[in-house]
Structure 1
């Protein structure tokens, strides 16, 4: 069946998760980040994801804002920066206004102009997602923003991917699911979606039973992929 609906992960896919640390490092109040912001951002993101997986496995769900804070606290301690509450607060504040990647608005507009439904499906808490979408000016380019908080478990649980069909009434084969997380795109392939992995970091493919159908370095070509999928 032809693709009718394009669904996007949010963090790292539409929104640049390194932007908070990078911006704080450029501000005069935080010179200690000048040489360490990139490593801090990487550790923050990795722990944030690890905590979602671990909580899903053991059934200890909390919202994404909590795991975002927990991941940052680990990263700050690893960088010996955990004694600066002002830095912690600034990084958390900036996370609510992450920049979209440069190609995102035009890509979403092209999809909408071509008649595709577009939405976010994210681990993010609803308030976080609403703030990010508003800050990036993407609200009029999305039909909906779906959060795992509806089902109380993080991706890649099938109950999360089920939200797409429940909202849009689509068959799995009508959905193109797009993520910057190789494991997310791979698991969505196993679920039955057509998939695209935005591999901005040029990472190896995750060793899972399934592989993303398409691999991209950015989202520019996504409308053409949707048309040909």
Structure 2
């Protein structure tokens, strides 16, 4: 697909892996698990898979609970016997994830260029609030939008339509920025332009078309919108 900057008046952002680095969660496992990398990867994968299944079988839980269950599964698979208190300490890391270096300057540039900026994510309100505060971007955002408001997760089109309604923007005037392949596709399916953040030069998914735009930093999006 081809990105059309003239259509864009509002920019929405995913959070995890887009604004903040979920790989930092591996550090929280390092002191408690012999080999933290596979545990961390399975934790993240199951967390997303649970949201996909929940959408289909009407089994919504707040994302924090999904994430907790996914962590327990990953620990069980790898025979990591840790206490509930230690598990809860690991989960806290999702409130304190490291922000990517380009995020604040990139959003600030977009705001200065006249674009209204929002965060739209699966996380429940407490996770969303702490993420925004820890990333130090609260002053740059118009608002934040949680999947908890309508009890459905990405990539359900209803969440993107809800986000458009909350921003007061026609859905085809929104560019949704995300590192998640399923999130790009969900946004495009709902009528937004899908902007993929790919900081590590990874392959794109080989089905259902391409993102409208692929960037390696939020500054690159500001440049694309100015052209």
TM above 0.5: yes
The Cα shift of 1:23 comes to 4.7
Find the counterpart in structure 2 of residue 119 from structure 1.
118
User: How much has 1:151 moved relative to structure 2?
Assistant: 1.1
Over residues 78-100 of structure 1, what are the superposed CA-to-partner deviations in whole Å (9 max), with x where a residue is unaligned? 22213343431221112111111
The answer on whether the counterparts of 1:124 and 1:148 sit within 8 Å (CA) in structure 2 is yes
Note the alpha carbon deviations across 1:153-189, whole angstroms, 9 max, x for none. 1111111001222122222221110111111102212
Aligned to 2:19: 14
Q: Which aligned pairs between 1:105-144 and structure 2 lie closer than 5 A?
A: 105-144=104-143
- After TM superposition, the score normalised by the length of structure 2 is 0.90
Is the Cα–Cα contact under 8 Å of residues 117 and 143 in structure 1 kept in the other structure? yes
CA contact (8 A) 1:18 1:38 kept: no
Please state if 1:79 is matched with 2:84: no
> SS in structure 1 opposite 2:17?
coil
Native 8 Å contact 1:10 1:120 kept in 2: yes
2:21 aligns to what SS in structure 1?
coil
Show structure 1 runs of 5+ residues with no match: none
Where does residue 3 of structure 2 map in the other structure?
A: none
Q: How many pairs align?
A: 222
Q: Given the alignment of the two structures, is residue 5 of structure 1 paired with residue 10 of structure 2, yes or no? A: yes
Cα distance in 2 for partners of 1:109, 1:123 equals: 23
The answer as to whether partners of 1:22 and 1:38 remain within 8 angstroms in 2 is no
For the 8 Å contact 1:183–1:206, the answer to whether it is kept is: no
Instruction: Give the TM-score normalised by the residue count of structure 1.
Output: 0.89
Runs of 4+ with deviation above 4 angstroms: none
Superimposed CA distance per residue, residues 68-126 of structure 1 (whole angstroms, 9 cap, x where no aligned partner): 10111111122221334343122111211111111111111111111110001111101
Shift of 1:195: 1.5
**C-alpha separation in 2, matches of 1:169 and 1:89:** 38
- Calculate the aligned-residue CA RMSD, in Å: 1.8
Cα displacement (A) at 1:205 = 2.2
The answer (yes or no) to whether the contact 2:161–2:171 under 8 Å persists in 1 is no
Residue-by-residue CA offset, 1:34-78 (whole Å, 9 max, x unaligned): x62222221111111000000101111111011110111111122
The CA distance in 1 between the partners of 2:158 and 2:103, in whole Å, is 27
Q: Does the 8 Å CA contact 1:8/1:179 hold for their aligned counterparts? A: yes
Secondary structure of the structure 1 residue equivalent to 2:219: coil
| Structure 2 unpaired stretches of 5+ | 1-5
1:202 to partner: Cα distance: 3.8
Distance (Å, rounded) in 2 between the aligned partners of 1:225 and 1:44: 35
